[in-house]
Amino acid sequence: MIAGLEVAFGLIALAGAVSAALIRDSYGKLISLGILVAGVLPFIVDRGYLDVAVTVSLIAPIATIFVLMVARREES
């Protein structure tokens, strides 16, 4: 990968991980998790594993939806 892109996506993934660890709100945590996935996914694509990239992009939102059900129940 281009070095600049590598640094940029690495920083995006790190920002997602740190903010998901520090934010106290459940919905904020889920949004930060999306940022983390967005930073990790280009590294998978760069390696050439397009099947893994397709699987990850399909399964990651499904896991988010599962957690979202609990978060909504907890808030009410």
Partner 1 sequence: MNTTFILGLVILAIGVLSVAFVRPKTYVARLINLEIPAWGLLLVMLAYDEALAILTFVAVTAIGTFVIVRLLEWRDASC
* Residues in touch with partner 1 (CB under 8 A): 6, 10, 13-14, 17-18, 20-22, 24, 26, 29-30, 33, 36-37, 40, 43-44, 47, 49, 51-52, 55-56, 59, 62-63, 66-67, 69-71, 73-74
Q: Provide the minimum distance between the beta carbon of 47 and partner 1 in the complex, in angstroms, as a whole number.
A: 6
How far apart CA 11 and CA 57 sit, in angstroms, is: 20
Q: Provide the minimum distance between the beta carbon of 25 and partner 1 in the complex, in angstroms, as a whole number.
A: 9
Q: Tokens 């499904």 sit at which residue? A: 62
Q: How far apart are the first and last CA of the chain?
A: 46
Q: Tokens 């978060």 sit at which residue? A: 71
Q: Provide the minimum distance between the beta carbon of 21 and partner 1 in the complex, in angstroms, as a whole number.
A: 3
